[in-house]
Each structure stands twice: as C-alpha cells, then as structure tokens.
Amino acid sequence: MGKIQVLSALALLLVVYSVHATVYFREEFSDGDEWRSRWLDSKHKSDYGEWKLTAGKFYGDAEKDKGLQTSQDARFYASSARFESFSNEGKPLVIQFTVKYLMLTQMVPPFLSTLYVCHIIGR
C-alpha cells in the first residue's frame, strides 16, 4: 500500500469516527447578549470579574469568532451553563475549548479549570 492510500484510509476512518461522535454541549455565542440567559455567573464571591462578548484583537470573522473575554485584570472569573444529563460509560469523554491569549506581556499566564460534577444515582 502506498503512502497516499494509507493517508486516504486514515482520513476516511477519521470522517467515519467523527460522524458517530455525539455533541452534548456546544456554545458559539452567535446570538449577541443572549448568552447571558444561558450562562450563570457565580455568586460565591463578590469580587469576580465581568465577562464581555468580543472577537478579540484578531479574528477571521468578527461575528463568528466571538467568545467570552475577561475584562478586568487580576480577577478570578467563574461561570457555568446547564446542559442535559448524559452518560459516557464505556466511551471516552472529550472536552474541547479554544483560548486566545492576548496579554503577552504578563509574567503569569492565565489558566482555565474545568469542573464537572458526577452524580451517582442508586449507589
């Protein structure tokens, strides 16, 4: 088998695999400020920073590339959004997100933590 045939077979397998993937939660922020009705800011502390919706300093499409941006320096940010319950038992769980780092002059890079709560029912 030649190199092109192997690459073609791998590409076909990738397409078949991705067709069978299930997306449980997707947020594109494409409806203006309506994201505020889906996302809940934490009230655990009173000094969390405020999010703003923007495409940032660089983008391919100003409308399609919008996302949440931190608006205040030296703040923590905490927000969550609901999604339907699901089980990935016996299957891998993939969490994917995109981050644009715009503050290249800071010494400490920001980090993103993802917290998910698993409820075990009947055990």
Mean pLDDT, the chain cut into blocks of 10 residues (123 residues total): 76 69 86 92 90 89 89 86 88 80 59 50 40
Write down the pLDDT at residue 97.
Answer: 80
Write down the pLDDT at residue 61.
Answer: 92
Strand partners, 70: 51
Write down the pLDDT at residue 37.
Answer: 94
Q: Show the CA angle centred on residue 99, arms to residues 85 and 66, nearest 5°.
A: 85
- How far is residue 113's CA from residue 83's CA, in Å, rounded to a whole number? 18
Domain spans in the chain, listed from the N-terminal domain onward: 26-123
Residue type, 14: L
Write down the pLDDT at residue 109.
Answer: 52
Write down the pLDDT at residue 2.
Answer: 73
Write down the pLDDT at residue 1.
Answer: 61
Residue type, 11: A
CATH no., domain 26-123: 2.60.120.200
User: In terms of residues, how long is the chain?
Assistant: 123
